[in-house]
Amino acid sequence: MQVSKKIIVLGHFGVGKTSLIRRYVEDSFSDNYKVSIGVHITKKVVEITANDSMSLIIWDLEGTDDVNNVRQSYLLGTHGAIYVFDVTRPSTFQDIHKDLTTIREKMPNTPLLVVGNKVDMVILSELEPILKKHAIIYNFLTSAKTGDMVNDLFHQLATVLYNNAKTI
């Protein structure tokens, strides 16, 4: 049986939200940066078990410096969310706690994964202390460019949604 779930991807400008989705859905990457305006919707069917698959309807929301500015209507009916920050730009994660609190207030009970993207551009041993200093708890460190951990990220969210649906 196949069910459909709405996932939103949000975060600051230029953190690589669109690139992450493109890597996951099309398995491609482009260095050409184009600002996303409004929302772009894509779909990917993911196999959860041998018998069950899930259709992920992924909403790529335009970047914003403050999640309060995200259009409320785009958040309605969201089943799962991914918050992306850029590990090379502290400005994209220095207010992360405030952003995450806002998201959780706006979408209580919605599974949320926190992702640091562009890890191909840093040395991990140097990154860890920086993230520790800001007390950032992340779920994944990804690279849309190399594809590192991108599939795992979406697959984990799909699995969480699948398990949640089974328990309801």
> Minimum distance from CB of 41 to other proteins (Å)?
4
Long-range contacts of 92-99 (CB under 8 A, 24+ apart): 92/11, 92/12, 92/15, 93/131, 93/134, 93/136, 94/134, 96/134, 96/136, 97/135, 99/66, 99/67
> Amino acid letter at 157?
L
**Does position 129 bind other proteins by CB under 8 A?**
no
> Minimum distance from CB of 87 to other proteins (Å)?
29
**Does position 110 bind other proteins by CB under 8 A?**
no
Cα 10 to Cα 3, 24, 49, 102, 168, distances in angstroms:
23, 16, 28, 12, 26
Cα 148 from Cα 162, distance rounded (Å): 23
**Does position 49 bind other proteins by CB under 8 A?**
no
Tokens of 166: 């089974």
* Residue whose CB is less far from other proteins, 3 or 121: 3
> Minimum distance from CB of 13 to other proteins (Å)?
19
- Stretch of 9-17, 72-80, 82-90, 126-134 lying at the interface with other proteins (CB under 8 A): 72-80
Residue found under tokens 């990220």: 153
**Does position 22 bind other proteins by CB under 8 A?**
no
> Minimum distance from CB of 3 to other proteins (Å)?
9
**Does position 72 bind other proteins by CB under 8 A?**
yes
**Does position 47 bind other proteins by CB under 8 A?**
no
Cα 81 from Cα 168, distance rounded (Å): 19
CA proximity to 77, closest of 57, 101, 100, 47 = 57
* Residue whose CB is less far from other proteins, 72 or 125: 72
**Does position 42 bind other proteins by CB under 8 A?**
yes
List contacts with other proteins (CB under 8 A): 4-6, 38-39, 41-43, 55, 57, 59, 71-74, 76-79
